[in-house]
Amino acid sequence: MSDPITRPGVAAPRDGADPTGTSERPASATERGIGRLGDRKKARLDELARASADKGGVSLVRDAFRRLRRNPVAMFGAAIVAVFVLVAIFAPLLAPHDPAQRFDELTKNLTVDSIPGASSDFPLGSDPLGRDFLSRLIYGSRQTLFVGVFATLIGLALGALIGAVAGAFGGWVDNILMRLTDVMLALPALLLAISLVAMASRSSQWTVILAVAIVNVPIFARLLRGSMLAQRESDHVLAARALGVKQRSIVLRHMLPNAMTAVIVQATLTLSTAILEAASLSFLGLGDPDINRAEWGLMLGVDGVRYFEVRPELAYYPALAIIVVALGFTLLGEGMRDAIDPKNRR
């Protein structure tokens, strides 16, 4: 048996002793044979060396992105996320009806122990108030995306700020900030979120967003601070100091960008937990009080649970939607983490 010896590095199609190659140039009898072939290969070797030398560089991010694209699991996650985002954006076009409108043909069939099921006009039937269930489900994606993205962004911004300050200054600043985040981390996430929502005088969707964001602040802060400290001790930061680079540009150009990679991956993973946490709050009745607004957690928690005996689909569909979307973000985040990890680079 003979396996082709291919090594990482220059990859090129195999160039055997094919007759077409020799016929490209006028072949005289003396030129033929091993020596001739050797010359040709040598020429190709030089050509390849030149080609690889002229090629522009591939940055770390592009390299990671390339690896991400080769990871089918991550791509599956990305596909879920893409579909979810598209549905949220084009919800008005996709939804057959207005999610807040109560339809007479549905309400008239509504009784305590019967909720109208699927019909040609309403593919998933009615909700307990006689509204189109499918439309509410589609519009619910908007609400979920909105809450998830804002909660994550606010959490990321606050956490990154705290982490960066702690990591850049170190010493007692670091000590105080980190003890504060420790206190926040010590409280169970959901309990903290519930207390924060309960503290608000009037709950709106922003109280949910803020509560979920604040729950995530210490996670981001710790993460960024940890990787900033690791960067501080790293050789390339020491090298920059040896070069005489100013402290400010060391922090901004070397420490922060390198430390942020881990945080951005975490943010993708946090999107899924933020969606789950927001849904949990709605489920517990601490969410948005506006009953007309479609929200998956609310649909699951209020209608789904109350009418589970009557029409379990009311619980199944929102639950499935939450699980699939959270899974999508998790798979994508894990894939990103693997792609960025330098150990996987080859």
Partner 1 sequence: MTERTGPLVELRDVKVHFPIKSGVFIDRTVGYVYAVDGVSLSINKGETYGLVGESGCGKSTLGRGLLRLVEPTAGEIVFDGTDIRSLKGESMRRARRRMQMIFQDPLSSLDPRQSVESLLVEGLKAHGLAGDKAATTKKLREALAAVGLPASALSKYPHEFSGGQRQRIGIARALVLDPDLIVADEPVSALDVSIQAQVLNLLEDLQNERGLTYLIIAHDLAVVRHIADTVGVMYLGGLVEEASSDDLYREPMHPYTKALMSAVPVPDPVVEDRRERILLAGDLPSPTNPPAGCRFHTRCPWAQPTRCAEERPALREVLSGHRVACHYAEDIAAGRIRPHEVEPELVRPDEGAAPGDPGELIPTL
Partner 2 sequence: MSLLDVRDLSVVFQRRGEQSFTAVDKVSFSVEPGQTVGLVGESGCGKSVTSLAIMGLLPRRGNKVTGGVLFDGTDLLQLRPNDMRDRRGRDIGMIFQDPLSSLNPVVPIGVQVAEVLERHRGMDRKAALKEARELLDAVGIPDPNRRLKEYPHQISGGMRQRALIAIALACKPRLLIADEPTTALDVTIQAQILTLLKQLVDETGTALIMITHDLGVVAGLCDTVNVLYGGKVVERAARHELFARPRHPYTHGLLNSVPRLDSPRGEPLHAIRGSVADNIPWAEGCAFAPRCNNVVDACLEGTPPLESTATGGDLRCNNPVSEEVAVP
Interface residues with partner 1 (CB under 8 A)?
53-61, 63, 175, 232-236, 238-247, 249, 253-254, 257-258, 342, 345
DSSP 203: -
Select from partner 1, partner 2, none the partner in contact with residue 233, using the beta carbon and a kind-dependent cut-off of 5 to 8 Å: partner 1
Select from partner 1, partner 2, none the partner in contact with residue 45, using the beta carbon and a kind-dependent cut-off of 5 to 8 Å: partner 2
Q: Among 10-18, 116-124, 160-168, 234-242, which window interacts with partner 2 (CB under 8 A)? A: 10-18
Select from partner 1, partner 2, none the partner in contact with residue 42, using the beta carbon and a kind-dependent cut-off of 5 to 8 Å: partner 2
Cβ-based nearer residue to partner 2, 39 or 121? 39
Select from partner 1, partner 2, none the partner in contact with residue 57, using the beta carbon and a kind-dependent cut-off of 5 to 8 Å: partner 1
Alpha helices in 133-253 (DSSP H): 133-169, 171-186, 189-199, 205-233, 235-243, 247-249
**Phi/psi of residue 111, each to 5°?**
-130, 180
| Near partner 2 by CB under 8 A: residue from 5, 186, 242, 243 | 5
The token duo for 274 is 């933020």
The token duo for 266 is 């975490």
Q: Which of residues 13-72 bind partner 2 (CB under 8 A)?
A: 14-17, 34-35, 37-39, 41-42, 44-45, 48, 70
Inter-residue contact 56 to 18 (CB < 8 Å)? no
CB of residue 200 vs partner 1: minimum separation in angstroms?
A: 33
Cβ-based nearer residue to partner 1, 10 or 27? 10
Inter-residue contact 71 to 338 (CB < 8 Å)? yes
CB of residue 231 vs partner 2: minimum separation in angstroms?
A: 25
Residue in the block written with tokens 């050509």 = 47
Cβ-based nearer residue to partner 2, 37 or 149? 37
Q: Among 8-16, 185-193, 240-248, 323-331, which window interacts with partner 2 (CB under 8 A)? A: 8-16
Cβ-based nearer residue to partner 2, 29 or 34? 34
**Phi/psi of residue 220, each to 5°?**
-65, -40
Mention every residue, 6+ apart, whose C-beta is less than 8 A from residue 97. Answer: 103, 122, 131, 132, 135
Contact status: 11 vs partner 2 (CB under 8 A)? yes
A 10 A CB-CB count for 207 gives 22
Nearest to 146 by CA among 213, 215, 79, 192: 213
CB of residue 242 vs partner 1: minimum separation in angstroms?
A: 4
Inter-residue contact 275 to 333 (CB < 8 Å)? no
Select from partner 2, partner 1, none the partner in contact with residue 12, using the beta carbon and a kind-dependent cut-off of 5 to 8 Å: partner 2
Q: How far apart are CA 159 and CA 225, in angstroms?
A: 9
Q: How far apart are CA 99 and CA 292, in angstroms?
A: 8
Residues that bind partner 2 (CB under 8 A): 1, 3-12, 14-17, 34-35, 37-39, 41-42, 44-45, 48, 70
